[in-house]
Structure 1
């Protein structure tokens, strides 16, 4: 079924490219633009994209200025036309530099320093957010580690496949108590559901 869905999606993409559908159905109502006359009734209605109410919003205001461009008279606000655009803020890597200041006591000469913060994987450079990204990409989105290596390379980071493998293993070890708790809850149920749908992967050999 999943393979048929992928084939159907490819056909839909080809049809959309050939038809060049107007994006008017996706945009909100615009008082300035006139609605085009429907040429032919479409078989499928295009659903307007929806985002969560918690999605961050940014307002960009385009003001024509204070004076009329034709006569130079003063302009007054009579309303505004508002439309929405869904945009994507690409993921980016960030290097967090952890600086632990050393101080010495003037009286007893004791060295005082704050302990280093704990890490999900001891002696590893992977932060918790990066590990979550790698695990979700691999096990939920089915993005192989070698492809993640290519994605990180486009971000300007060289993270070897073997390092990603070590990170996954270390993260699974750190999550072992949670995994055991979930397994206990699932096995305690009277009814279990298993999905044995195979996932095709590329054999690099």
Structure 2
């Protein structure tokens, strides 16, 4: 069983989390979705479903961090964030409004294993910490972009929190309405607030 199989399973778990949530992402569904051998679960993930989900969160963190960093470096803080909102809207539309954020799923849903048993507190905390680390990374990337444009570090951090939480909230509204209006509106308003902070810092 190659590392390619392992990577495929982690990516598949992240996709299932984004579409079906934690409870709909069973080990059996991951195997079926990724067309991988059943035995690959115990071979690659001796910690079972909890380990697979934690690694799926880390994968999502890495992939989104790379995209955010690239957009913000290329376009600057305001245009980069606006591009991120547009990109998120495109992926949401392509998924027929089914695709949420796998990290958000782990943050808001209580983990259960495939036997529907509640985890011990340590397992739950470990998954929450993985989600918190991912969110923190994204917030810090936005904040760093604002600092590069002169915004005070404390305010930049608060705006990073606003950018992230506003996007996730808007995605929820879009999934309910089956259109992108909320994401477009929120993206516009967030961009205006970021630009105002930059203008104030430069004044």
Which of the two has greater helix per residue?
Answer: 2
Q: Same fold (TM over 0.5)?
A: no
TM-score range, shorter chain: under 0.3
User: TM-score if structure 2 supplies the norm length?
Assistant: 0.25
User: TM-score if structure 1 supplies the norm length?
Assistant: 0.25
Higher relative contact order (CA 8 A, sep 6+): 2
